[in-house]
Amino acid sequence: MADSSQGRIDLTDKPALTFDGVDMVFPDGTHALAEVSFDIRPGEFVTVVGPSGCGKSTLLRIASGLETESGGAVQVDRSNIGFVFQDATLLDWRTVQDNVELFAELHDVPKDERADRALRAIETVGLAGFEGHYPQALSGGMRMRASIARSLMMEPPVFLFDEPFGALDEITREKLQTELIRLFMDNGFAGLFITHSITEAVYLSTRVLVMSSRPGRITADIEVPFDYPRSPELRFDPAFAELSGRVSRELRDAH
């Protein structure tokens, strides 16, 4: 497995993201996370599955710093984190090009450089030719691509995804999954990807974390041994079905 992902997973690396006994209680008393511990190393792509409302988004928001944990500790370099929300959160008044440039603009990257990098990111996500389009004129899938390009051009070492493909149709979803795997292989970030689809979790990741319903805790940490790049056919492989079955059982037991 280490070989197939081009040797980038080196377990001696320092983790890019560490959760250590993280607890989250909101001011209104909602206990969202309990004793959550895991870490993600560079070159790992970890997915989190769990029933809705179990605290998956809260987990990402704590990782990114949008929310502060009420107990435990989180270690991550927050100076450059990629975060892709469930909705594409593009700015309506900016073209694809200008939307993709946004973060670089906020970090005062010089105009020429950011235009260049944005163009490359747009091409990478397959939106070449749509630079001048406004979000209104794009399909849901294209908007999500633009949203991914926007974070991608910052080359973040840690990349968080909160159910980014949840609102897309099956075909678009599978296409974007394939491309996300390619992005992962080319860029070698540490990925943390939230989903409530078991197939998506197994297909994308090197590890699946299973969360129980609220308060969310991690009840299983399952290695996914399939080689990258993964062909779409993998989804129909008996080994894939077996692993999905295991995740599904863990999910049911976790309730």
Q: Which residues bind another protein (CB under 8 A)?
A: 64-66, 81, 83, 85, 87, 89, 91-94, 102-103, 105-107, 132-137
Note whether 159 and 190 are within 8 A (CB).
Answer: yes
The residues in 22-81 that bind Mg ion, with binding defined as CB under 5 A, are 57
Secondary structure (DSSP) of 54-94: SSHHHHHHHHHTSS--SEEEEEE-TTSEEEE-SS----TTS
Q: Nearer to another protein by C-beta: 157 or 215?
A: 157
Note whether 154 and 84 are within 8 A (CB).
Answer: no
Note whether 3 and 185 are within 8 A (CB).
Answer: no
Cβ 52 to Mg ion shortest distance, Å: 7
Note whether 153 and 100 are within 8 A (CB).
Answer: yes
Q: Nearer to another protein by C-beta: 105 or 123?
A: 105
* Site map 202..241 versus ligand ADP, x via CB under 6 A: ------------x---------------------------
Interaction of residue 54 with ligand ADP, rule CB under 6 A: yes
Token duo for residue 43: 């070159």
Q: Nearer to another protein by C-beta: 121 or 224?
A: 121
The residues in 10-39 that bind ligand ADP, with binding defined as CB under 6 A, are 26, 28, 30, 32
DSSP SS3 for 115: helix
Residues that bind ligand ADP (CB under 6 A): 26, 28, 30, 32, 50, 52-58, 214
